[in-house]
Amino acid sequence: MGRFAVLGGASVTNTGLSIVTGDLGVSPGVSITGFPPGQVNGSIHNSDAAAVAAHADLITTYNDAVGQIPDAGITGDLGGQTLPPGVYNAASSIGLTGTLTLDAQGDRNAEWIFQIGSTLTTATASHVLLVNGATARNVIWLIGSSATLGTDTDFAGRVLAQISITVNAGVTVNGQVLAINGSVTLDTNRITRPW
């Protein structure tokens, strides 16, 4: 799944002029729509060998990360918080309104894992800010059901959802959006896989 910016389990659907940098695929489903007008700076994989392998890798990565022992619990809304590296666990849903700052404290290898029991929902124009050496590839969001990124959100990290991911209009993702069983829905977005 490393080279994929977008991977859906059932389908990938796009509206508008989305730009995906990295590969885009679906497996085990076979439905990819909206490209064009969407643009993929990479390859499109419709349930081919690469997509099947990425889907299997996604499940393994998800299960490994879910099995990590939490350093701290989180509840409610993450807006306004600054979090050091660690494993954060939420029993149910988490929201993000405003800005969440992830502070690597000068360690470029710093990692964050967010174990979210059900849903992740960001409000309009929310932000995940990476500071002091934090990198998007070292941030994993594990979503027990589905994620919804609100209009004009500026998001960072690898979103791994059990079911679906809805990326609303104007959202920018520095990372990956990867759905195990359901669909990824895009709408005039810019999604860039971290290198």
**Cα(5)–Cα(7) distance, integer angstroms:** 7
- CB–CB of 139/121 below 8 Å? no
- CB–CB of 152/124 below 8 Å? yes
C-alpha pair distances (Å), 51 with each of 9, 48, 89, 166, 180: 10, 5, 29, 20, 12
Which pLDDT value is given to residue 195? 78
pLDDT digits (tens), the chain, 195 positions: 889 999 999 999 999 999 999 999 999 999 999 999 999 999 999 999 999 999 999 999 999 999 999 999 999 999 999 999 999 999 999 999 999 999 999 999 999 999 999 999 999 999 999 999 999 999 999 999 999 999 999 999 999 999 999 999 999 999 999 999 999 999 999 999 987
Predicted TM-score of the model (pTM): 0.97
Which pLDDT value is given to residue 186? 98
Which pLDDT value is given to residue 1? 80
